[in-house]
Amino acid sequence: MTSSSRMKGFITLGLLPALLLYLVFVIIPIIWSAYYGLFDWKGIGTAKFIGLGNYLEAIQDPIFWLSFKNNMLIVAASVFGQVPIALFLALFLLKNSWFHKFIRSSVFMPMVLSSVVVGIIWGYIYHPEIGILNFLLDRLGLSSWKQLWLSDPSISMYSLMVPIIWNYIGPYLIIFIAALQNIPSEIDDAAKIDGVESSRKLFSITLPMIWDTIKVAVVLCISGSLKAFDLIYIMTGGGPAHSTELLASYMYNNTFSIYRFGYGSAVSTTIIILSLVLIAGSQYLMKKNYR
Amino acid sequence: MKASSHSSRVSSSKKRMDLRNWTGGIVNVLMTMYALVTLYPLLWLFMSAFKTNEQFFSRPFQFPTDWQWENFTRAWEVSDMGLAMFNSVIVTIVSLVLSLVIGALAAYVLSRFQFRFKLFFMGLFLLGMLIPIHSTLVPLFILMNKVHLLNTYWALILPYVAFELPIAIFITQAYMNTFPKDIEEAAAIDGTGYWGIFARIMLPLSLPALSTVAILAFLRFWNEFSFALVFISKPALKTLPLSLSMFATGYMTDYKLTMAALSLSVIPTIIVYLIFQKHIMQGMVAGAVKG
């Protein structure tokens, strides 16, 4: 055996297991769901080809659009909630002292908890009778502010945003701290010598210098918002009256509660297309320079 | 004249120092409060786990008056947590070993060899990090059903590994790229083959990157919920998050037991977090930013 053919053999054998697993369990399912999305299929029996029928049905279904809107609400809550809060915290947590490290660790900690645990804890916090939130409002004499946090369709989606922000803020904080620590100290010194006001410094120096990082954070918000399924499944299951339905829970309920596998596949494909479009779109929008 | 202007400058700079100390103090207090609010749901969880049901809602903010240690033993038995832990341990360990070995091998090939379509393969793996996991639930369910893997450990292990590979390869390859080429050349002259170089040189040298990959993968596998929800319905095979979610629905009104069960399930992840928090933060950020 020549050395070059031995090398080729090694390359093939080395890549094969990873490639095989990845193709079979990640890539092929995506292609399959695009294919099954063209059929009316209950999971058993024969599948009937209906072309784009499932997609047409989805775009005519108000619940599909409600789910889409809720997904967008989560993106908005992340972009306008998580990013500014994390940025604000980061500006004050730059030192590597034990105190700053402790606060960073606390903020990051929910990331390592299972979303099942997070969902159940927040379910209890929001519980109308035994929940500590309503209990606290009672104690503070604000009984009129008490709400059916998760079972009132008009506010349930907003109630869910608090645990979502709480849960996923850690990585943004760490990214921003790393970016801020990378700003050369000469720039800071120069600003100090020129007597630049701190608010002016923030908007004219600091933010432009970490603009690339903010871009990354926005992309993360978008891809992260599609992951909120677990939390919402545990806390509300998409209810009441579909008010907290996400595209993922809409897909889940259609597929595994009423066994419309073809329709569920079409929604899956829509989710993939949507997330790729959103990521590409956000990248394009953020390409414009700061200011 | 000169002296007085000097002294006034001194006093104004002293005032500024005072002001800075003050604002610094206020910021620290605010940050501490933020950290406490962040940690509170978890503190509340542990506190409630020691209470009686009556104290759970009559005194939600106080410490328990007598600590009900037996809540934990009861919760362990009633929720059949031993079995769920066992399942979670098996699934996590097998997935972990497979991800590390297969991922490191692919990373070695991609980092050290030149071949056709190399960039294509790397792009393909990168693509995997942009795909929302939930959009593959339906087609993977159909696939698992066809190959009769539903309700087996493999239904979880194979997709877990497949979805972890892109990040594992990405982190390990980036680390291997920094090794100087001479190490392998020396080994090759000694007659060590590619497999020998991989096993005896690359693997041990990559240990820091591999440990980051391992910790992140551990957390993800241990906490994973949606695949378990869809692919596992046999009670004997339920993993920890799945069995907790069932337990919480079934025992919704036995608060102390639910809280104790949640506490028990959270302890391993908290310990891992406390030991490896630096790795976890850096790794999650690196894993998140890649896209």
Residue A18 CA: distances (Å) to CA of A21, B78, B208? 5, 40, 21
Q: Does B285 touch chain A (CB under 8 A)?
A: yes
CA distance, residue B124 to nearest chain A CA (Å): 9
CATH number given to B80-289? 1.10.3720.10
For the record, the structure tokens of A46 come out as 């024969």
Q: Which A positions 69-98 lie with beta carbon below 8 A of chain B?
A: 89, 92-93
Q: pLDDT (tens digit, 0 to 9) for every residue of chain A, 291 residues total? A: 567 788 888 998 999 999 999 999 999 999 988 988 888 888 777 778 888 888 888 888 899 999 999 988 998 888 898 899 999 899 888 888 888 888 888 888 888 898 899 998 888 888 887 778 887 888 887 777 777 778 788 888 888 898 988 888 888 888 898 888 888 878 777 877 877 777 777 777 788 888 888 888 887 787 777 778 888 888 888 778 888 888 888 999 888 888 888 898 999 999 888 888 887 887 777 665 544
Closest to A175 (Cβ–Cβ): which among B38, B136, B289?
B289
Per-residue pLDDT reduced to its tens digit, B229-259 = 999 999 899 999 998 888 877 766 777 888 8
The four Cα atoms B192, B197, B199, B201 give a dihedral, to 10 degrees, of 120
Q: Could you report the predicted ipTM of this complex, rounded to two decimals? A: 0.85
Domain ranges, ordered by start, for chain B: 2-49, 80-289
Cα–Cα nearest to A259, from A66, A50, A45, A61: A45
Query: Which positions in chain A touch B106 (Cβ < 8 Å)?
Result: 14-15, 17-19
Q: What share of chain B is helix, strand, coil (3-state, %, to 5)?
A: 80, 0, 20
Q: How many domains, in total, are found in chain A?
A: 1
CB A66: neighbour CB atoms within 10 A?
A: 19
**Pairing outcome for strands A39-40 and A48-49:** antiparallel
A143 lies in some domain: yes
The two counts, helices (H) then strands (E), for chain B are: 14, 0
> Residue A158: which CATH number?
1.10.3720.10
Beta-carbon contacts of residue A265 (< 8 Å; ≥ 6 apart): A32, A33, A34, A35, A36, A37, A39, A54, A255, B138, B139
Domain that holds residue A135: 63-287
Under a CB-based contact definition with an 8 Å cutoff, are residues B160 and B216 in contact?
no
Angle between helices A261-287 and B137-146 (to 10 degrees): 140
Residue A12 CA: distances (Å) to CA of A182, B169, B174? 40, 16, 20
Distance, in Å, from the CA atom of B263 to the CA atom of B79, rounded to the nearest integer, reads: 13
Under a CB-based contact definition with an 8 Å cutoff, are residues B226 and B133 in contact?
yes
Q: What is the Rg, in whole angstroms, of the alpha carbon atoms belonging to chain B?
A: 26
- Residue A39's SS3 state is strand
Distance, in Å, from the CA atom of B158 to the CA atom of B63, rounded to the nearest integer, reads: 44
Cα–Cα nearest to B279, from B222, B224, B214: B214
A55 lies in some domain: no
Q: Does B244 touch chain A (CB under 8 A)?
A: yes
Under a CB-based contact definition with an 8 Å cutoff, are residues B213 and B147 in contact?
no
